[in-house]
Amino acid sequence: MRNYFIAGNWKMNTTLPKAEQLAAQIVQGVEELQPLPQVRIGIFPPFISLAGVHTVSTNTRVEVGAQNCSNELSGAFTGEISVDMLQSVGCTAVLIGHSERRTIYKESNEFIASKVQRVLASSVLTPVLCIGETLSQRQNNQTWDVLRNQIDDVYSTLEKKDAERIIIAYEPVWAIGTGIAATPEEAQEAHSFIRNHCSRFLGVAAQDAMLLYGGSVTAENAQSLLSQPDINGALIGGASLKAEAFLRIIATANALSQ
Ligand code: PGA
C-alpha cells in the first residue's frame, strides 16, 4: 500500500463560475472513481474562488487549498491573505514558495520559511513547500546545492514535530509549463536526494515524508513518474485545468496505491 497526494495548481486561471464548474466535474469524477483512502486529492484554485469551490467539494474526497498566504497573522498588510482566512473557507493545504513566487515576486528562502512557520502554527493547514532548480543551475551542476539550501533554510527554523507535517513538491523550474517533464530517472534521483537530506531533520520519519513531483505532469506520463519509489504524488498545473486529464492522473495514482 502506498500513499499518494494528487494536487492541482490552477494558478491564475478560472473565474469563479468556471472554477466552480471545474471543481464540480472533478468532484463527480472522484465520486465515480472512489479512490482508496490512501490517495489524497487537492485542488488549489485562485483565492477568490476558494469559498465557492469549497461549497462544491464539502463532504467529498476533494480537498481545497490555496496557492499562497501571508507570513503575518493579521493587520495592515493590504492585499494579503492570512492563514485564518484560508481556514475559514475550508482550506486544508497551502502552496508555499512556488517557483513563480520565488522568481517573479522575489520570495527568498527566509521569507518562505516565515510563511511555513505561520502555516504550521495552524493545526489545520498542511504546507506544500515547493523547491526546485532552474535550468542554468542544473547545467552548472548546482542542483543539489540549490535543493539543500531551499530545504535547510526552512527546516532549520522548525521543530522536528512541525517539520514532519510539511509536504515537499520538487518542481524543476525548467519543467514547469514547458511540456518537458523530468524523466522518471531524473525525478527519482532528485526525490531520493531530497528524502535523504530531509532525514537530517526528520530522522527515520523522512521515509514517510510526502514528496510530490511537479513540472509538466500529464495523464500520459503520470504512470512512469508516480511509480518511482520516492515519488508520493504530483503537483499539476496545466493538466489540472482539464477535469478528464486530472481524473486520469488520480486514477493512475489509485491503481498504483494498492
Ligand atoms: P505544470 O505546472 O504542470 O503546468 O508544468 C506545475 C506547477 O507549476 O505546479
Q: From the CA atom positions of the chain, what is the Rg in Å? A: 17
Q: What is the largest CA-CA distance in the chain?
A: 49
Q: Is the beta carbon of 7 within 6 A of some atom in ligand 1?
A: no
Residue nearest to atom 7 of ligand 1 (CA): 237
Three-state DSSP at 100 gives helix
Phi and psi angles of residue 113, each rounded to the nearest 5 degrees, phi first: -60, -40
Atom of ligand 1 nearest to the CA of 218: 3
Atom of ligand 1 nearest to the CA of 100: 8
Q: What pLDDT, on the 0 to 100 scale, is given for residue 73?
A: 97
Q: Is the beta carbon of 42 within 6 A of some atom in ligand 1?
A: no
Q: Kindly give the confidence (pLDDT) of every residue in the chain, 258 residues in length, as a single tens digit, with 9 standing for 90 and above.
A: 999 999 999 999 999 999 999 999 999 999 999 999 999 999 999 999 999 999 999 999 999 999 999 999 999 999 999 999 999 999 999 999 999 999 999 999 999 999 999 999 998 999 999 999 999 999 999 999 999 999 999 999 999 999 999 999 999 999 999 999 999 999 999 999 999 999 999 999 999 999 999 999 999 999 999 999 999 999 999 999 999 999 999 999 999 999
Residue pair 3/232 in contact (Cβ under 8 Å)? The answer is yes
Three-state DSSP at 13 gives coil
pTM of the model: 0.98
Distance, C-alpha 152 to centroid of its chain: 18
Residue nearest to atom 2 of ligand 1 (CA): 237
Q: Is the beta carbon of 217 within 6 A of some atom in ligand 1?
A: yes
Pairing of strands 167-170, 211-214: parallel
DSSP conformation letters of 50-84: HHHHHHHHTTSSEEEEES---SS-SSS-TT---HH
d(CA 148, CA 63): 30
Q: What pLDDT, on the 0 to 100 scale, is given for residue 91?
A: 98
